[in-house]
Structure formats: C-alpha cells, structure tokens
Amino acid sequence: QVQLVQSGAEVKKPGASVKVSCKASGYTFTGYFLHWVRQAPGQGLEWMGRVNSNSGGTNIAQQFQGRVTLTRDTSISTAYMELTSLTSDDTAVYYCTRVDHWGQGTRVTVSS
C-alpha cells in the first residue's frame, strides 16, 4: 500500500533552517509529483510547492521563493523540503502529499 512517512518533529530557533524528509513506499516513486502543504496552528492549509519526483523540477509558491528548496533522492524514494530563515510564523505542521495520499505531518516549532 502507498505510504508517505515523514521525519520527526523539530524545534528550531529563529533564523535557523529545517529540512523535512518524506519517504515513499508502495508505488513507483518517479511516477508522481510530491507536494508540500503546511498548516499553522488553528489555521487552514497552505500549498508551498511541488517537486517532479522524476526530473527534480519544482514549482514554488511565490511567498516561499528564496526560502524553500524541494529536492528528492530517487535511490531511496525520498523527498525533502528545506525551509531557511525561520521565524515564528513558520511554526506549523508540514505535510508531504501525493494528493491522494498524505504523510502524517511533521510539526516544526520555531521558538527562541
């Protein structure tokens, strides 16, 4: 069965970076794009961007351009989302998704 398993919760200081991983299994990794969506506490869903798991090409939402890098390693069927220059506004649960399947979410807390 399709599974997306994300890395564990992170606590970071303002100005730091975080890298979240998303390991895929149960399907051909290169056959699907993977998207990243975040949800701040008590707020709605926000689409951040997507990576073409085959070519590595990306589309990033404008508000994240320059701070977000989406990559993948096809040898281990894993996608990554790196977010830099963290502020308290980046405190959220970050999801990877194939749209029909979602990871369990990774809580990132930014606090001094």
Residues that bind another protein (CB under 8 A): 35, 37, 44-47, 49-50, 59, 61-62, 95, 97, 99-100, 102-105
- Closest CB to another protein among 27 and 102? 102
**Residue 46 corresponds to which tokens in the numbers above?**
């926000």
- Indicate the residue type of 75: S
- Provide φ and ψ at 84, rounded to 5°: -105, 175
- How near is the Cβ of 29 to another protein at its closest, in Å? 19
- How near is the Cβ of 50 to another protein at its closest, in Å? 8
Please check whether residue 79 is in contact with residue 70, taking contact to mean a CB–CB distance below 8 angstroms: yes
**The pairing of beta strand 10-12 with beta strand 106-110:** parallel
- Closest CB to another protein among 48 and 86? 48
- How near is the Cβ of 77 to another protein at its closest, in Å? 19
- Give the integer Cα–Cα distance in Å for 42 and 48: 18
- Closest CB to another protein among 11 and 45? 45
